[in-house]
């Protein structure tokens, strides 16, 4: 595993070269820890999100969807504990003027002497650590006045708790059941990001699973296994995935047990997703602050209780980065180096490329017709520019699993070449059979 060709630099460079992901506001010199997704990046990200929704609400019937507001009532964050406790310890260096997360010093570079960590050099002068709240504040209304401060959500989960009663009533659910949501969250992170690993705004895929209190432990185990399995099913090599239970001193204020799904990024083992047993902390806190009863009443059994919550919370960008790192490969083709993204077909931004061998002799017309047919069924791309080898390599770099080439023989006997990104096998198949063949091989 140590001889993987992937490095973070190669991923950053491929993402930029092929327009997946690049720094935001670049014409103004960029903005810290903020990135934009281009065409293929958007398609890849959407595929990751689609697979998450599939696992949550298509493959099972005990989870419903929600899309709650980014700006919620400010008391939300009072009740959730974020206003008081969603902080990181911050230190300033009076010598170089830089700011650091006090708990990340061992991973950071000194502003003056990058070979050392902040505080290690004789010249470093670090201040005492002070707590810094990660929520972005803004105001509602044209004037910033008392009581108008609101926050951009630092996690999507709280919107789910606020709507618990609605869902219980209108979706006619009883525990165990879950509410799933995908959306943007915002954190004023101090630590530099490692590309899209840590950004100021990021999408989360979170699901709150409400269970009878006695069943919490069992469902916690269930979701740990489910979530680990999700990444493996989408192609991540299992040796590069692991679960790591939090020590007691790492646990968030709301959690009685948390494990992270970790991935072996080129920068080492890092959290991909957290699975937490949140107990009844959130529903109880919102019930107390709002005066609403947030409980489940079982008419038949004549009992009422506050459900406990198991939460798998994943980041879209971090998953995208893990899928990219895991898929990245280099090999040799005809004596030339090839870079290839061996993405799972379900995640690949484009499933099939249609390429006329020549830009004349009727090849483009025939290729276009095949493309028009295929695109109605799968995400396809038509490309007639440049030598065929270069076009294959371009598709390899964006992870397209199949390429169809149209040549002279196609015009004679109606067959095309079907090229496999991973095996590099080139089969001669009837153009008419393509749709069925691809449907079979792209099944996810």
* Interacting residue ranges for ligand ATP, rule: CB under 6 A: 155, 187, 189, 198-199, 202, 204, 271-274, 313-315, 317-318
The C-alpha atoms of residue 30 and residue 277 are separated, in whole angstroms, by 38
Q: How far is the CB of 157 from ligand ATP (least distance, A)?
A: 9
Residue 353 CB partners (closer than 8 Å, separation 6+)? 380, 381, 382, 383, 391, 395, 400, 402, 403, 404
Of 94 and 253, which CB lies nearer to ligand ATP in the complex structure? Answer: 253
Task: Rank residues 317 and 356 by Cβ distance to ligand ATP and give the closer one.
Answer: 317
Q: Which of 314/416 has CB closer to ligand ATP?
A: 314
Is 178 strand, coil or helix? strand
State the minimum distance, in angstroms, from the CB of residue 158 to ligand ATP.
12
Nearest distance, CB of residue 417 and ligand ATP, angstroms: 41
**Minimal distance in Å, beta carbon 187 to ligand ATP?**
5
* Minimum CB distance to ligand ATP smaller for 107 or for 163: 107
Using only the alpha carbons of the chain, give its radius of gyration. Answer: 25
Element at 225 (helix H, strand E): helix 216-233
What is the Cα 16 distance to its own chain's centre? 18
Neighbours of 335 (CB within 10 A): 5
Least separation, in Å, of the C-beta of 265 and ligand ATP? 12
Least separation, in Å, of the C-beta of 226 and ligand ATP? 16
Alpha helices in 291-378 (DSSP H): 316-327, 363-375
Smallest distance from the beta carbon of 244 to ligand ATP, in angstroms? 12
Let me know the angle formed at the C-alpha of 153 by 149 and 155, rounded to the nearest 5 degrees. 155
Residue number, 193 or 212, with CB nearest to ligand ATP: 193
Nearer to ligand ATP, 18 or 187 (CB): 187
Nearer to ligand ATP, 164 or 231 (CB): 231
Task: Round to whole Å and give the CA distance between 94 and 96.
Answer: 6
Q: Which two tokens stand for residue 203?
A: 């999408």
Q: Which is nearer to ligand ATP, 199 or 277 (CB)?
A: 199
Instruction: For the CB of residue 318, give the shortest distance to ligand ATP in the complex, in Å.
Output: 4
- Tell me the C-alpha distance between 114 and 225, whole Å: 40
Residue number, nearest CB to ligand ATP: 315
The token duo for 293 is 């009863």
Three-state secondary structure along 364-386?
HHHHHHHHHHHHCCCCEEECCCC
């Amino acid at each position: 595993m140590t001889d993987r060709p992937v490095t973070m630099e190669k991923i950053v460079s491929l993402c930029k070269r092929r327009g997946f992901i690049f720094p935001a506001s670049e014409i103004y010199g960029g903005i810290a820890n903020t990135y934009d997704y281009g065409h293929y990046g958007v398609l890849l990200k959407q595929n990751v999100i689609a697979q998450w929704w599939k696992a949550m609400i298509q493959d099972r019937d005990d989870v419903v969807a929600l899309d709650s507001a980014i700006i919620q009532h400010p008391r939300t964050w009072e009740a959730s504990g974020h206003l008081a406790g969603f902080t990181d310890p911050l230190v300033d260096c009076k010598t170089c003027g830089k700011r650091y997360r006090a708990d990340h010093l061992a991973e950071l570079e000194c502003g003056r002497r990058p070979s050392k960590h902040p505080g290690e050099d004789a010249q470093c002068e670090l201040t005492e650590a002070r707590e810094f709240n990660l929520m972005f504040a803004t105001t509602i209304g044209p004037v910033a006045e008392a009581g108008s401060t609101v926050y951009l959500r630092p996690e999507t989960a709280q919107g789910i708790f606020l709507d618990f009663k609605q869902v219980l009533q209108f979706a006619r659910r009883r525990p165990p059941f879950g509410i799933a949501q995908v959306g943007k969250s915002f954190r004023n992170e101090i630590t530099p990001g490692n590309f899209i690993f840590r950004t100021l705004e990021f999408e989360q895929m979170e699901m709150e699973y409400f269970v009878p209190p006695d069943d919490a432990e069992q469902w916690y185990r269930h979701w740990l296994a489910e979530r680990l399995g999700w990444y493996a099913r989408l192609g991540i090599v299992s040796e590069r995935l692991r679960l790591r239970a939090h020590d007691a001193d790492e646990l968030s204020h709301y959690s009685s047990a948390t494990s992270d799904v970790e991935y072996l990024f080129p920068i080492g083992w890092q959290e991909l997703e957290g699975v937490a047993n949140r107990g009844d902390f959130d529903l109880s806190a919102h019930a107390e602050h709002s005066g609403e009863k947030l409980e489940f009443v079982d008419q038949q059994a004549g009992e009422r209780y506050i459900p406990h919550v198991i939460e798998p919370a994943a980041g879209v960008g971090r998953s995208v980065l893990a899928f990219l790192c895991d898929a990245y490969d280099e090999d040799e083709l005809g004596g030339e180096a090839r870079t290839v993204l061996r993405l799972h077909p379900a995640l690949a931004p484009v499933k099939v490329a249609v390429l006329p061998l020549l830009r004349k002799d009727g090849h483009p017309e025939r290729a276009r017709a095949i493309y028009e047919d295929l695109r109605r069924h799968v995400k396809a791309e038509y490309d007639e520019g440049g030598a065929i080898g270069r076009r294959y390599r371009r598709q390899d770099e964006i992870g397209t699993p199949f390429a169809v080439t149209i040549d002279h023989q196609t015009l004679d006997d109606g067959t095309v070449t079907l090229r496999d990104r991973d095996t590099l096998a080139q089969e001669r198949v009837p153009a008419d059979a393509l749709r069925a063949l691809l449907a079979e091989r792209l099944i996810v």
